[in-house]
Structure 1
Amino acid sequence: MRTIPRLSLLSVCIAAAAAHPATAQTGPATLPPEASVGGLYVTSQSPDPWVFCRGPDAIAPFAPVRPGAGSPETSETIIDFDNLQADEESGHSIFEGDVQLERGTQWLGTDRLVYVHEEEDYLAEGNVRYQDASLRMLATRAEGNTGLEVHHLDQVRYQLLSQRGNGGADTVDVRGVLSTLHGASFSTCDPVDRKWELRARRLDLDQDEGEGVARGVTVRVGNVPVLYTPWLSFPLDDRRKTGFLYPTVGYDNELGLDLFLPYYLNLAPNYDLTLTPRIMSRRGVMLGSEFRYLFGPHSGTVEAWYLPSDDKARDPALRGSDRYEYRIGHRTVFNQQWYGLANVHRVSDPRYFEDFSVTTADRERAFLESNVGLYGRGRYWTTSIEARDWQITDALIADSAEPFMELPRLRFNYDRPLGDYLTVGLRSEAVGFRHDIRSEGSRLDLKPYLRADFAGSWWFLAPQVAYRHTQYELDAPVRPGGDTSPSRSVPIYSVDGGLFFDRDVEWFGRSLINTLEPRLFYLRVPYRDHSDIPIFDTRDLLFSFPQLFRDNRFSGADRQADANQLAAAVTTRLFEPGSGRELGSLAVGRINYFDPPRIPPTSPATVLNDSGSFYVVDANVAVSDRWSFGSSYQWDPASERTQLNTYRIRYDFENGGLVNAAYRYRRDLLEQTDISAVYPLSPSWRLVGRWAYSLPDQSTLDATAGVEWQSCCMAVRVLGRHYLRGRYTGNLDNAEKGNAIYFELELKGLGSFGRKTDDLLTRSILGYTR
């Protein structure tokens, strides 16, 4: 074994793999880059390839990496061979036999290597093999000049090691940083099972510019060409480049064929623009745009969608009008303590989401929020000043029900320990409420408090005293002859305490730990008259187990509930002693009123009894690693009727599937069943579906069914959906429904085509993952 001068052939061989672009990484100094394959660019927000799986090597390993091998840039080249013919006059060295060259982690093998020292020409013939940490390659012949960095390789086959992918090229020509591949191919599928493949007649690669140009490109699924383009360009690294992004397509019975064709414009390192025509066969063409920017501490996104003269709007009042949506999101970081946020979101009309949204979350919106604010935090304090506005996005909601604008809302919270046991704090806010229809006003709310925290290994006790003062300035009194400057001041006393007991138990032959956790919470709040106090942003809280231990049954400061009550609850749990995993829990509790509450609810639907709250029961059981069960139950002792009842059960299949079944009942409001499942038919095929049904209406709320197929390199999903076009309000008599079909094709490592359905399935099927 001998050492000779470094041969650049080792590094040049990597060019054969350049047909596969590098995966983009987000850099701190610029906007998130675009990752692309085959000339269609995918924004950093878009790629979500279904999971790869390991397959057999397309090319078997040639030689193990020598222990302690250094970097190729700093290592000398070591050559091993069977025979050497050296001619000093001609300056030729001919290595024959099992020729192996090694430089750090790079390795090259061939049957015969000819090297001309003075001209720096070389010729490698017969079984040319190359490998490093990221690439394994075969070629029948390689020749070139190491000094001029000119190289030619014939019949190349390669396999990527740092990521899944393999392919080949008829020839590879390298001239410095420029490379040309003829008859190139790439796929993430196994060579013996080519489910899809990208082929290009010619690839020109420029490493300095980070750009590749392909000619005569075909994407084949099986043996069927599904995409052809005579010319395209793509990036070779994380530099972004102008070009088309992957299109998405879907079908809706109202919109018809729904096609998105985004085009990305790389305007500068710190800002870019994406233009997206949305072609709806039954509604026309809507133009969308997204502008992203990053200027030092300032960053943000401006999005807009616009459809002129919508002559086919379902609402006659909107026909012929322009339909639009825009969103502005901005963030500025001033220093470690202070930052600013802005989120402005508006649509042209209340039926916009109902007509054009592609997500379930948008269709279920009742109000659209916009806000801008400045936020700060220190060791013991947090503060913010915000302006907030709302827009109604449900045509069934009256203008008078729109929430008040908050211009502005100033908050300051302080929480500081005093020694080992005491904490002093303040909750405060000042708000100006504005409305186009309703009477306006301002509110100041102050709540200083002092809390003591005592605890041991089996007990805790936390008494607290607070004082709440709320002051208003109103444009008009709440009632005739009322006060335009009402106020309310009230002390709040509470004591929270609990015990922890545990014991060892045997359950179905398993050794477990069983805990018993009784808890008492006493609350005393004197009654104050609220007849002159308006309701700006306050609502009844939905009753649940955590509400047993709150000092107010309202959200917002317009109502402070009077109380002379004791909440009693007990929780028992089962734990595995080693892992701490909770196998089951049961919690039961109720609030007992010593004095009947005098502050009425803000909603007539809220039930309030004189003697106490509902009994509330929460239960959760993990019967095994596959079966789990949960239930919440509320019983009204005054009417001796069930107020709320929910059951949910889940089963996880061994091969990744699951089934969820749920029943939901809330008295005088809803009664529904909900069944969802991911059912594997085989390692490659699985069914997905969800059916939500309203029992009082005897009608379907949402039904989704589809099939997924995936291999290690390709995945397909087809879904059909029947759904409500707006929110469910407890009555389906006037509800409008829609039908949609979604198709998604994922060529793993290349990109996806079709409508993204992750949001839909994640929201619909608890526990769903790709």
Structure 2
Amino acid sequence: MQPRPKPDRHCPEPPPASASWLLLLVLLLPATTPAMTLEREEPQPWRLCPAWPPERPPETIGPPPTAETPVDIEADEMDGVLEEYFVYRGDVILRQGTRQLRAEELLYLPQTQEARVRGDVSFLQNDLAFSGVEASFDLGNDSGVFDQAGFRLLDRHARGEAGQLVRQDENTTLLEDLFYTTCPDDNRDWALNARRMHMDHDSGRGVARHLWLEFKGVPFFYSPWLSFPLDDRRKSGFLFPDFGRSERHGTEIALPFYWNIHPQLDSLLTPHHRSERGTQLYTETRYLTRSTRGSLQADYLPDDSVFGDDRYYLQYRQSTRLPANWRVAANIQRVSDTEYFLDLDDSPGARSRTHLPQSLTISQNTDWYRFQSRFRIFQTIDDAIEDSRLPYRELPDMRLDSDLPIGGSGFHAELGNRFTRFERADSLEADRLHLHPRITGRFGTPGWFVQPSIGGQYTRYDLNNPTAETRRNSGAELEPGEDRTLTRSAPVFSLDSGLILERPFADSLHLRQTLEPRLFYLYVPYRDQSAFPRFDTREMDFTFASLFMEDRFIGPDRLGDANQVGVALTSRVLDSRSGRSLLTGSLGQIHHFDDREVGLGSGDPVTTQRSELVGEVQLAPTEAFSARTTVLWDPEDRQTQRSAIQFQYRPEARKVLNLGYRNRRDRLDQVDFSFAWPITDRIRAFGRWNHSLQDDETLERFGGLEYESCCWALRFTTRRHIYNRDGDVDRSFMIQLELKGLGGVGQTVDDFLDESIMGYGYRDYD
């Protein structure tokens, strides 16, 4: 879909009126972009065009003059009768502030304030250049008539012609036989034409009659009547349609309509017809006030021909600022059935969606504390998830965190409080209170640091419905009786320390090398938690950052016992001139002094004395090339548990090569290759291949070509991908015609490539 205007708190002011007839030329500028399009800004859209714009004199750039701005006229000859008429001939130049007018002859009648110019007339101000053969105007009522008017919008790389331009007054302009394009001279690959155009500059609205678009001389859009905006004020109207075809959906056609309801309220309505399923209506309504921003998305497909029933998706979002730094936010999503996204959403993340959150959050941030209260429930949209593994409702989940300095000692007092009520049908339910106070400090110089931390964690559960079955379903081991209150408390001590050593390295290349050893000691005594339920806690993946964390679990239902030291070594090669890291290597491991007895289930204690060895290497010798690899190696089994490697060569936007590999032992083994690369100056190829080596199956592949000229581009791609968990395959075809400076027709292939090929677009990637 085409992007649409963003709602502003207030409409932009109209351009200032001027007593001079020359203003009507400036007002041509916004009139050349019709309402049915929304311009896509890109850093280099005109790279294939001839030099544009021509050099402009500095004195013609700036704000427009007013009626009181003096007029200066130069000419080879001047004749006339005082107070009756003046005639200027031969290289006539009229200057009024930043406006510059040239002609071969100028006739001025001072009593009636009438003027006529003819003979190679030209006008220049800011990004507007105008040319014609003859013009007459009345300075008194700010009106005029121009014949065979040609214009250029220099900053927009646009040009056009009008058989006649009539300025009726300061607010009304009429154009006859209008032609507009962004193609260079002697090229009309695409053109917008209109027989008649009426522009009301006061309201910022225009009306065109008998308007049509043509490409390569072939008309493909016509409207007998079309209303459009003249400036940045939003205007209701149709956007360019989207279309495509796939095996699942058949032929697809979508026609977006933008409805500007109010300066703080707008809506996008998109009927989307799929020949195999029916017509779905997508709607998104947005609103904005001084304190609130919100949106409502409602998508409805009546009687899906394949599914056999009505289908819908709802999403409501709102964020409201209240006095005293309070804020209220809502995020509510609901879908008609569990297969909705698998059937009707072709985005890359459609298969991974398992739950839709519905939450209401109240929060306050001050200089010394942060408070948040969240009410959250979920809709599960994955039928494979068992009832005992469904997420709990949090009604509510409240947090109160603070971080205060203790005088000038360098220590901070931190307090993390959390209260959560968990509810789930036919399950163990509880009120959980979790307190985590601690005192931390950081001392050192640029070459070393020491950061001690001492604190504790206290957790209390008030259980509801604590039967044997509900305890088993919640991950707790069975205990005699039905205790309704469980508590756990334990001290937590950590000491983080490190050195940062630096030396010159290859002085001729202006390089420096660092050596950064780091030790992190952690002590948490063992507490028996086998009878404790597990509501929202899981064990985190082991990464390099895990060496310096105080818990191996995410969530307070488990507190991991620890008596360990994390040992890490990092070395960097830096460009001493820019400070940019060219090469970074890190290696680390945890050494355990005691067994780890706390786990998520009832398994045996972990007795290994060393953790996996984790290593990371990042290479960026140039701005264009980067590589990164992570390896997790088990010294006990002498096997790699997890590895990933990513190469990217990106000398410029839309010119990129990516190669990636991911492996998780016995779970995942994938290779991913994607590219967008120019074959010639005008032709670019792009594609992606994502393959599972473990299953010997291609998860997704697509390929396509782009042809780009100065003023238009044509892109098409074919795609094959697995769209659901059963491994079913869909094949589709997308095509897009982009008329530069105007918009695009067809499915937005560009947006699809931005999402699917890392580094394809103009945004930066770390």
Q: TM-score, normalised by structure 2?
A: 0.91
Q: Offset of 1:18 from its aligned partner?
A: 4.9
Aligned to 2:631: 633
Q: Offset of 1:541 from its aligned partner?
A: 0.4
Of the three residues 457, 467, 472, the one matched with 1:468 is 457
Asked whether 1:157 is paired with 2:153, we answer: no
Segment of structure 1 superposing worse, 712-721 or 380-389: 712-721
Aligned to 2:533: 534
State the SS of the aligned residue for 2:25: helix
Listed one character per residue, the Cα deviations across residues 586-628 of structure 1 (whole Å, up to 9, x for unaligned) are 1111111100100124699x99552121010111122444443
Segment of structure 1 superposing worse, 99-108 or 184-193: 184-193
Equivalent residues in 2 for 1:463-502, closer than 5 Å: 463-477=452-466, 478=471, 479-480=478-479, 481-502=481-502
**Contact 1:247 1:753 (8 Å CA) reproduced:** yes
State the SS of the aligned residue for 1:355: helix
Equivalent residues in 2 for 1:61-76, closer than 5 Å: 65=59, 71-72=65-66, 74-76=68-70
Q: Offset of 1:327 from its aligned partner?
A: 0.6
Aligned to 1:513: 512
Asked whether 1:617 is paired with 2:611, we answer: no
Of the three residues 757, 760, 765, the one matched with 1:765 is 757
**Contact 1:58 1:191 (8 Å CA) reproduced:** no
**What residue identity is the alignment partner of 1:304?**
A
State the SS of the aligned residue for 1:9: coil
Aligned to 2:670: 672
**Contact 2:179 2:192 (8 Å CA) reproduced:** yes
**What residue identity is the alignment partner of 1:675?**
F
**Contact 1:210 1:239 (8 Å CA) reproduced:** yes
Asked whether 1:744 is paired with 2:744, we answer: no
Listed one character per residue, the Cα deviations across residues 205-255 of structure 1 (whole Å, up to 9, x for unaligned) are 110121111122121222222222222110001222222122222222111
Of the three residues 286, 295, 310, the one matched with 2:289 is 295
**What residue identity is the alignment partner of 1:565?**
Q
Q: Offset of 1:11 from its aligned partner?
A: 2.2
Give the whole-Å Cα distance in 1 for the aligned partners of 2:205 and 2:512.
62
Asked whether 1:576 is paired with 2:575, we answer: yes
Equivalent residues in 2 for 1:196-275, closer than 5 Å: 196-275=190-269
**What residue identity is the alignment partner of 1:389?**
I
Q: Offset of 1:15 from its aligned partner?
A: 4.3
Aligned to 2:475: none
**Contact 1:445 1:471 (8 Å CA) reproduced:** yes
Asked whether 1:323 is paired with 2:311, we answer: yes
Structure 1 segments of 4+ aligned residues over 3 angstroms from their partners: 15-19, 46-51, 54-64, 66-74, 601-604, 606-609, 623-627, 652-656, 757-760
State the SS of the aligned residue for 1:354: helix
Segment of structure 1 superposing worse, 12-21 or 153-162: 12-21
Q: TM-score, normalised by structure 1?
A: 0.90
Equivalent residues in 2 for 1:125-164, closer than 5 Å: 125-164=118-157
Asked whether 1:590 is paired with 2:589, we answer: yes
Equivalent residues in 2 for 1:307-706, closer than 5 Å: 307-313=301-307, 319=308, 321-335=309-323, 337-418=325-406, 419-477=408-466, 478=471, 479-480=478-479, 481-506=481-506, 510-601=509-600, 610-653=608-651, 657-706=655-704
Give the whole-Å Cα distance in 1 for the aligned partners of 2:68 and 2:499.
66
**What residue identity is the alignment partner of 2:262?**
A
Aligned to 1:28: none
Q: Offset of 1:751 from its aligned partner?
A: 1.3
Aligned to 2:8: none
**Contact 1:351 1:395 (8 Å CA) reproduced:** no
Give the whole-Å Cα distance in 2 for the aligned partners of 1:438 and 1:719.
49
Q: Offset of 1:351 from its aligned partner?
A: 0.6
State the SS of the aligned residue for 1:360: coil
Listed one character per residue, the Cα deviations across residues 330-356 of structure 1 (whole Å, up to 9, x for unaligned) are 111113622111111111111100011
Quick one: structure 1 residues 59 and 690, their matched pair in 2 at CA, closer, same or farther if it must change by over 3 Å? closer
**What residue identity is the alignment partner of 2:431?**
S
**Contact 2:346 2:723 (8 Å CA) reproduced:** no
Q: Offset of 1:428 from its aligned partner?
A: 1.3
Q: Offset of 1:311 from its aligned partner?
A: 3.3
Listed one character per residue, the Cα deviations across residues 233-279 of structure 1 (whole Å, up to 9, x for unaligned) are 10001222222122222222111122221222222222223322111
State the SS of the aligned residue for 1:200: strand
Give the whole-Å Cα distance in 2 for the aligned partners of 1:268 and 1:656.
38
Q: Offset of 1:121 from its aligned partner?
A: 1.8
**What residue identity is the alignment partner of 1:260?**
A
**Contact 1:592 1:612 (8 Å CA) reproduced:** yes
Give the whole-Å Cα distance in 2 for the aligned partners of 1:389 and 1:759.
32
Give 5+ residue unaligned stretches, structure 2. Answer: 1-17, 472-477
State the SS of the aligned residue for 1:65: helix
**Contact 2:60 2:125 (8 Å CA) reproduced:** no
Aligned to 1:3: none
Give the whole-Å Cα distance in 2 for the aligned partners of 1:68 and 1:705.
47
Of the three residues 92, 95, 106, the one matched with 1:99 is 92
State the SS of the aligned residue for 2:535: coil
Quick one: structure 1 residues 517 and 178, their matched pair in 2 at CA, closer, same or farther if it must change by over 3 Å? same
Give the whole-Å Cα distance in 1 for the aligned partners of 2:654 and 2:283.
39
Quick one: structure 1 residues 467 and 60, their matched pair in 2 at CA, closer, same or farther if it must change by over 3 Å? closer
In percent, how many aligned pairs have the same letter?
34
Of the three residues 3, 24, 27, the one matched with 1:12 is 24
Give the whole-Å Cα distance in 1 for the aligned partners of 2:577 and 2:296.
51
**Contact 1:58 1:159 (8 Å CA) reproduced:** no
Quick one: structure 1 residues 608 and 182, their matched pair in 2 at CA, closer, same or farther if it must change by over 3 Å? farther
**Contact 1:19 1:184 (8 Å CA) reproduced:** no
State the SS of the aligned residue for 2:753: helix
**Contact 2:715 2:737 (8 Å CA) reproduced:** yes
**What residue identity is the alignment partner of 1:690?**
R
**Contact 1:49 1:751 (8 Å CA) reproduced:** no
Segment of structure 1 superposing worse, 667-676 or 620-629: 620-629
State the SS of the aligned residue for 1:490: strand
Quick one: structure 1 residues 580 and 94, their matched pair in 2 at CA, closer, same or farther if it must change by over 3 Å? same
Segment of structure 1 superposing worse, 239-248 or 172-181: 239-248
State the SS of the aligned residue for 2:485: coil
Aligned to 1:282: 276
Q: Offset of 1:687 from its aligned partner?
A: 0.9
